[in-house]
Amino acid sequence: MKYTAPLTDMRFVMHELTDFGAIRSMPGCEEVTVDLVDAVLDEAGKFGSDILAPINPSGDRQGCTFENGVVRTAEGFRDAYAQFVENGWHTLPFDPEYGGQGLPLLVSTAVSEIWTAANMSFALCPMLSQAGAELLSAHGTDEMKSVYLEKLVSGEWSGTMNLTEPQAGSDLARIRSRAVPEGDHYRISGQKIFITYGEHDLADNIIHMVLARTPDAPPGVKGISLFLVPKFLVNDDGSLGPRNDVQCVSIEHKMGINGSPTAMLSFGDNDGAVGYLVGEENGGLDLMFMMMNNARLAVGLEGVGIADRAYQRARDFAFERIQGKMIGSHDPSPVAIIHHPDVQRMLLSMKSQTEAARALTYFAAANLDLGKLHPDPKAAGQHRAVVDLLTPVVKAWATDIGIDVANTGIQVHGGMGYIEESGAPQHLRDARIAAIYEGTNEIQAIDLVGRKVARDNGTSMTAFIATIRGLDAELAQVPGDTVAAIRDRLRRGVQDMADATDWLLENYADEPRRVTAGATLYLRLVGIVAGGWLMAKSAAAADRLLASGDGDPEYLRAKLVTARFFADNYLAQSSALREMFVNGWAAIDGVDPENAF
């Protein structure tokens, strides 16, 4: 099956559901024209379809090899990466001062969806490199920027995040890696696990961002510092020097993303790896959170990309697979399964969820742009607050959708979906990791109820709820039953979200265990209502464009169908989710783990 980037829906979301016009009017974006963005998306679609997608199944089958400390990627990955760098794809969102193209993150987000859908294993390498470049842009010293940043921006060198260790998992307070000061640098020792692209053969150098403790650091997360540790040291003239004291011990054998090497790294087996402090001592976790939050939005986008790829495959199969007669017809002739109502239901569930997740992810990216670029500090702060609130929702809700859609894709294939040659199983295996890494989705839910809602007494969430309700007046002006039905579902959904938020705020301080027991349900409620709001907004826009004769009428009519389907099948779940969130604690309260499990 040939992958085709969903450019029409990408453009619709950018222009109709986000404030892209405001972004293009921001300082530094004067040359970001609609024609330029269209050209970028067109070329990205070709690169994803022609270069990355063909090596996705072969990368899954071959995986990566590890021998004597050397990791080799699957056939075709090196050539694809060389073309990726040569064509400047890595540079899209970065400052032109360091070789970037200065495009908004919203544009880069749409392009990154293409990379992920075409080949998630490949896309993980530039994703982490871009997060590292963003970190250095904001917090690196002038010397670090002059030595490392331009190479990271171009993609000539790649980047990693080194957080967790065998004994720590997601509890970073337990990390033990050490950093001993020595002149203008530190000597790093310790072991890190689950390091995506921690060792590979795509780039000439790998720049590791490593969390470690200095000798006098206080215990817990307050004693964590961040260090830049290159695979190869860099000479004064910018050329590569000797190998640093960091080695790949092994790579993981995984159920998915097999084309991406996941490494265990050992620092300081000999003299200690040379590392350079980023920011202040004991301030590493706050800095790493910047990199992690960028990665969490990118991982949410992985859910969108995999969902779209799985949907395309299932849709194409449904048009080709001849099986069973038309239900309700007396004609015994078999028809393509696309004509069976339950297959249509499955495909609409896949398509509508993917579109809702794409809309919410792009909406977050647009707010991130405005939070960085808006000249009014108050307005910029409001946009950043939206991003902070939605980051755990995008990460968790969109990746859960990726799993659900890929799983449904197998079901559409029937027996063929269980066969690797169909291609459908790879999407589910690849999608499954996204709900686990960069903080499991349950951790994201706890972050949402605790840090994002309870900590500011619901200020950001209350403002967001008001924004959703602000669409009601516009929906009321749209004629016809479709938008009226969506409006009714959205009104009930946002009320359930508001009621659940009120209950959260009333109970979190005194009963945090009770609230966090249902945190995943609350996050799912927020995701469904936020996604439903944007789908409702898309229905209103589609209706307006149809009336004016603008746009592709077939696409716009299909958008009305998916928006209605999402409202009837997902927004309709809001009351049940609120009820489970509020009352689901009863069975858990007082559980004795020794006897209950």
Active-site amino acid positions: 438
Percent of the chain as helix, strand, coil, to the nearest 5? 60, 15, 25
Residue among 215, 248, 249 nearest 231 (CA): 248
* Phi, psi values for residue 73, rounded to 5°: -80, 170
3-state secondary structure of 517: helix
| Alpha-carbon separation of residue 160 from 52, 207, 208, 261, 436 (angstroms) | 21, 6, 5, 12, 17
The Cα 276–Cα 434 span in angstroms is 30
Within 414-518, residue ranges assigned H as helices are: 424-434, 441-447, 459-469, 472-476, 481-507, 512-517
The Cα 104–Cα 29 span in angstroms is 7
DSSP 438-458: SS-HHHHHHHIIIIIIITTTT
The Cα 531–Cα 434 span in angstroms is 19
Are the beta carbons of 152 and 207 closer than 8 angstroms?
yes
The Cα 585–Cα 570 span in angstroms is 23
3-state secondary structure of 189: strand
CB atoms within 10 A of CB 39: 11
Within 140-173, residue ranges assigned H as helices are: 142-144, 150-154
The Cα 70–Cα 137 span in angstroms is 30
Helix axes 574-583, 519-548, angle to 10 degrees: 160
Residue among 464, 478, 465, 460 nearest 536 (CA): 478
The residue type of 419 is: I
The Cα 256–Cα 262 span in angstroms is 11
Residue among 245, 128, 150 nearest 197 (CA): 128
| Alpha-carbon separation of residue 378 from 290, 329, 371, 375, 381 (angstroms) | 21, 62, 10, 9, 5
Up-side HSE of residue 288: CA atoms within 13 Å toward CB? 26
3-state secondary structure of 26: coil
Instruction: Compute, in degrees rounded to 10, the torsion defined by CA atoms 23, 27, 31, 37.
Output: -20
| Spatial CB neighbours of 152, under 8 Å, sequence gap ≥ 6 | 129, 132, 133, 136, 158, 159, 207
| Alpha-carbon separation of residue 426 from 267, 351, 513 (angstroms) | 33, 19, 37
Q: At which residue do the structure tokens 């779940």 appear? A: 573
Q: At which residue do the structure tokens 């994703």 appear? A: 127
